[in-house]
């Protein structure tokens, strides 16, 4: 089975297992999703969801956060790890959204990635989930691992992996395939002990690296 047909089968089968995939992060608008995704770097979604209610209560929008004391933001996001960098980036990003983008998050990859702490993965997550804009595929640790195991890429570089995956899936499914691979990666296809015998993809997976 070639990569394109394997990718098609992966999408079809995982859709059956996860008919309504969505982010595990809690958010109400594009700005909240961006903030939550930035905080989720090297941190669990569950932990981020414990932190963001207080963060958004105190600083509910980019304008409010742009005027925040960085030390106070650090105190709120401390438990997410790398809190000094995350707090500084979020305050600076909020200021850029206010002063350069009229208070609204931009809707392009090029503009979003100008914000500190926002690389392609975060931008893809915000664009696809909050704006319905598909410029690429978010590649996190799960997508990276599963793409290699499934033989959809030979690379371990997120940018290269994204370029390898994009032609294999319909553009309108670029956001969905991220969710599907993440959910499958958290369930059957775990990093250390993948449950290959029970996997819905076991007959088409080359099991690279397993």
How many residues does this entry show for the chain? Answer: 210
Q: List active site positions.
A: 121, 140
What is the predicted pLDDT for the residue at 141? 95
Distance, CA of 96 to CA of 74 (rounded, Å): 19
Centre a 10 Å sphere on the Cβ of residue 82 and count the other Cβ atoms it contains.
15
What is the predicted pLDDT for the residue at 57? 98
Cβ atoms 67, 77 nearer than 8 A: no
Region label for 127, one of left (φ > 0), alpha (ψ between -120 and 50) or beta (otherwise)? alpha
Q: Is the alpha carbon torsion for 20, 25, 29, 35 positive or negative?
A: negative
* Phi (first) and psi of residue 93, to 5 degrees: -60, -40
Contacts with 37 (C-beta within 8 Å, 6 or more apart), sequence order: 25, 121, 122, 125, 126
Confidence of residue 163 (pLDDT cuts 50, 70, 90): very high
Confidence of residue 144 (pLDDT cuts 50, 70, 90): very high
pLDDT cut 70: percent of the chain above it: 100
Q: What is the mean pLDDT of residues 190-194?
A: 95
Confidence of residue 176 (pLDDT cuts 50, 70, 90): very high
pLDDT cut 90: percent of the chain above it: 100
Q: What is the pTM of this model?
A: 0.95
Q: Could you read off the pLDDT of 63-109 as tens digits, one per residue?
A: 999 999 999 999 999 999 999 999 999 999 999 999 999 999 999 99
Task: Domain 3-21+137-198: give its CATH code.
Answer: 1.10.1670.10
| Run of H or E residues at 162 | helix 158-165
Q: Could you read off the pLDDT of 102-132 as tens digits, one per residue?
A: 999 999 999 999 999 999 999 999 999 999 9
Distance, CA of 48 to CA of 26 (rounded, Å): 8
Distance, CA of 98 to CA of 134 (rounded, Å): 24
Measured in whole angstroms, how far is the alpha carbon of residue 129 from the centre of its chain? Answer: 9
Structural domain spans, the chain: 3-21+137-198, 30-130
State both tokens at 166.
């994009």
Q: How would you class 71 by CB atoms within 10 Å of its CB: exposed for 0-12, middle for 13-18, buried for 19 or more?
A: exposed
Task: Domain 30-130: give its CATH code.
Answer: 1.10.340.30
For residue 149, which of 95, 207, 96, 193 has the smallest C-alpha distance? 207
Q: Could you read off the pLDDT of 15-49 as tens digits, one per residue?
A: 999 999 999 999 999 999 999 999 999 999 999 99
Q: How many helices (H) and strands (E) does the chain have?
A: 11, 0
Confidence of residue 206 (pLDDT cuts 50, 70, 90): very high
What is the predicted pLDDT for the residue at 142? 96
């Amino acid at each position: 089975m070639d990569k394109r047909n394997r990718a098609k089968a992966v999408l079809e089968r995982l859709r059956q297992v996860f008919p309504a995939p969505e982010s595990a992060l809690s958010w109400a608008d594009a700005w909240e999703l961006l903030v939550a995704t930035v905080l989720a770097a090297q941190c669990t979604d569950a932990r981020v969801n414990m932190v963001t209610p207080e963060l958004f209560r105190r600083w509910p929008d980019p304008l409010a956060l742009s005027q925040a004391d960085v030390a106070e933001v650090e105190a709120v996001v401390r438990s997410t790890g790398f809190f000094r960098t995350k707090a500084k980036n979020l305050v600076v990003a909020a200021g850029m959204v206010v002063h350069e983008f009229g208070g609204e998050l931009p809707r392009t990859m090029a503009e979003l990635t100008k914000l500190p702490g926002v690389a392609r993965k975060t931008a893809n997550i915000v664009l696809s989930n909050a704006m319905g804009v598909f410029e690429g595929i978010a590649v996190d640790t799960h997508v990276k691992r599963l793409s290699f195991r499934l033989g959809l890429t030979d690379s371990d570089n997120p940018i290269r992996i994204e370029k390898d995956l994009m032609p294999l899936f319909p553009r309108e499914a670029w956001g969905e395939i991220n969710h599907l691979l993440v959910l499958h990666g958290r369930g059957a296809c775990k990093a250390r002990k993948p449950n290959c015998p029970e996997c819905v993809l076991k007959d088409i997976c080359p099991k690279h690296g397993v």
